[in-house]
């Protein structure tokens, strides 16, 4: 049986952390859909045509730590505005969302475009300042010297482009639960997310594979 958890939101809001924890807790597979766009963005930086890159993407590329840089994130956001790039990546994501045993996907358009019938939809956000601080700390931990102001400007530019594009813009689905993590610890955010998933599983009969009814 399939069971899809769709987690969307702006950059550095905590989607990835929540998605990984939900997947681990319920035994679901996890896809960070941003990595698909990052892999295409990375290839475009190397001179490849983005549409061709999207059509020939190999899932093994997604494990490359080089996808985690701000330069690749910026390139990802540019190629993600191209309709043919998005189209080339749809089937893979939809198949992933409906795999047996349950799936968690995080991104920008999972609840609106990729899996509009998802059993759970969360829109995870946080204030601009908190998101910039979190991303800044992550980059510092990777040994990157970058100012907080620069990180904040990069996030702002990327979010504006993602929200303004004509196709599959960053947007909260009408039926998505809003999770504002600005004033929450990671534990509190995870507890809320897991609570929403557990409630949805019970509504659908507590019968999903990997179901977890622990309190
Ligand atoms: O989530 P992450 O920051 O890795 O995403 C990188 C970029 O990929 C985003 O800024 C966005 O432009 C694009 N993206 C997208 N749709 C998704 C996931 C990511 O357009 N579902």
pLDDT in tens, 136-158: 999 999 899 999 999 999 999 99
Which alpha helices (H) appear in the chain, and where do they start and end?
15-26, 34-45, 50-55, 70-79, 83-97, 128-141, 148-164, 186-203
Average pLDDT over residues 38-43: 98
Average pLDDT over residues 115-129: 98
- Structural domain contains residue 213: no
pLDDT in tens, 73-114: 999 999 999 999 999 999 999 999 999 999 999 999 999 999
CB-based contact 128:13 (threshold 8 Å)? no
- Structural domain contains residue 31: yes
- Structural domain contains residue 168: yes
205: pLDDT confidence band, cut at 50, 70 and 90?
confident
Q: Which of 162, 166, 167, 173 to mutate to test the pocket of ligand 1 (most atoms within 8 A of CB)?
A: 162
Q: How many domains does the chain have?
A: 1
Check which CATH number belongs to the domain holding 123 and give it.
3.40.50.300
Give per-residue burial for 148-185: e unless 16+ CB within 10 Å, then b: eeebbebbeebbebbeebeebebbbbeebbebebeebe
pLDDT for 207: 52
- Structural domain contains residue 212: no
Q: Please work out whether the CB of residue 38 comes within 6 Å of at least one atom of ligand 1.
A: yes
Structural domain range at position 14: 4-203
Secondary structure of 157-173 as H, E, C letters: HHHHHHHHCCCCCCCCC
206: pLDDT confidence band, cut at 50, 70 and 90?
low
Range 189-196 contact pairs with CB under 8 angstroms and sequence separation of 24 or more: 189/14, 189/17, 189/18, 189/124, 190/17, 190/18, 190/21, 190/22, 193/7, 193/18, 193/21, 193/22, 193/122, 193/124, 194/21, 194/22, 194/25, 196/120, 196/122
- Structural domain contains residue 215: no
Q: How far is the CA of 201 from the centre of ligand 1 (A)?
A: 27
Q: How far is the CA of 192 from the centre of ligand 1 (A)?
A: 24
Q: Please work out whether the CB of residue 89 comes within 6 Å of at least one atom of ligand 1.
A: no
CB-based contact 24:104 (threshold 8 Å)? no
**Ligand 1 closest atom vs CA 110:** 21
Q: How far is the CA of 128 from the centre of ligand 1 (A)?
A: 17
pLDDT, the chain, mean: 94
- Structural domain contains residue 120: yes
Residue 211 pLDDT exceeds 60: no
Q: How far is the CA of 145 from the centre of ligand 1 (A)?
A: 23
pLDDT for 214: 38
Residue 176 DSSP class: P
Which protein residue's CA is at the shortest distance from atom 5 of ligand 1?
34
Average pLDDT over residues 63-72: 94
- Structural domain contains residue 214: no
Q: Which residues pair with 104 in a beta bridge?
A: 5, 30
- Structural domain contains residue 121: yes
Q: How far is the CA of 107 from the centre of ligand 1 (A)?
A: 6
């Amino acid at each position: 049986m399939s069971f899809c958890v769709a987690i969307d939101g702006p950059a550095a809001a905590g989607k990835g952390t929540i998605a990984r924890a939900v997947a681990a807790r319920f035994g679901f597979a996890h896809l960070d859909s941003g990595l698909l766009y990052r892999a295409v963005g990375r290839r475009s930086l190397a001179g490849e045509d983005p549409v061709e890159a999207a059509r020939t993407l190999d899932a093994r590329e997604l494990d490359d730590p080089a996808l985690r840089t701000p330069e690749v994130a910026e390139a990802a956001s540019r190629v993600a505005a191209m309709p043919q790039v998005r189209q080339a990546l749809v089937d893979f994501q939809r198949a992933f969302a409906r795999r047996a045993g349950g799936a968690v996907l995080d991104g920008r358009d999972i609840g609106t475009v990729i899996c509009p019938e998802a059993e759970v939809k969360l829109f995870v956000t946080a204030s601009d300042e908190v998101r910039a601080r979190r991303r800044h700390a992550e980059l510092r931990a990777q040994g990157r010297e970058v100012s907080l102001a620069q990180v904040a400007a990069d996030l702002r530019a990327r979010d504006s482009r993602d929200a303004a594009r004509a196709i599959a813009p960053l947007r909260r689905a009408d039926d998505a639960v809003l999770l504002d993590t600005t004033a929450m610890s990671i534990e509190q955010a995870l507890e809320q997310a897991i609570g929403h998933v557990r409630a949805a599983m019970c509504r659908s009969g507590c019968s999903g594979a990997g179901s977890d009814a622990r309190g």
